[in-house]
Amino acid sequence: MRFLHTSITVRNMDESLRFYTEVLGLKFERRHPIPENHAEIAFVQDPESGGRIELTYWEGKETFEPGEQLDHLAFEVDDMDAFLGKVRARGVKVAKEPYSLQGGTGRLAFVLDPNDVWIELIERSPRGR
């Protein structure tokens, strides 16, 4: 398993991108809509460490409770089914079963940590690696 990124929920995508790129100096990678989730995402990366942040804007989300800004942590797994079998055996709750996004290159799933933080699992197809 390999750590990929941390996702945070943002109130305004343009303002957030300006902050992370112009103020903090992170490098813009890409930005695109996720129509089936009514969301838009963008990735920025620290050029020194390689660490990535996914900025997630949820259409229609107008209220934010303290602590909601952390959306999820993402890890890449080689074999989604084997990994989910292993974590289920340890009592880990699967919050969202494996699925693919339209035009995606693999499968996604979400599990919950003991604090109910969402952990995204990404299994890329061979062509998406």
Residues involved in catalysis = 120
SS (H, E, C) 48-85: CCCCEEEEEEECCCCCCCCCCCEEEEEEECCCHHHHHH
- CA nearest to 38, candidates 101, 129, 98, 119: 101
Centre a 10 Å sphere on the Cβ of residue 45 and count the other Cβ atoms it contains: 16
Q: Is the dihedral of CA 10, 1, 37, 66 positive or negative?
A: negative
Asked if residues 123 and 81 have their Cβ atoms less than 8 Å apart, the reply is: no
4 vs 8: CA distance, rounded Å: 14
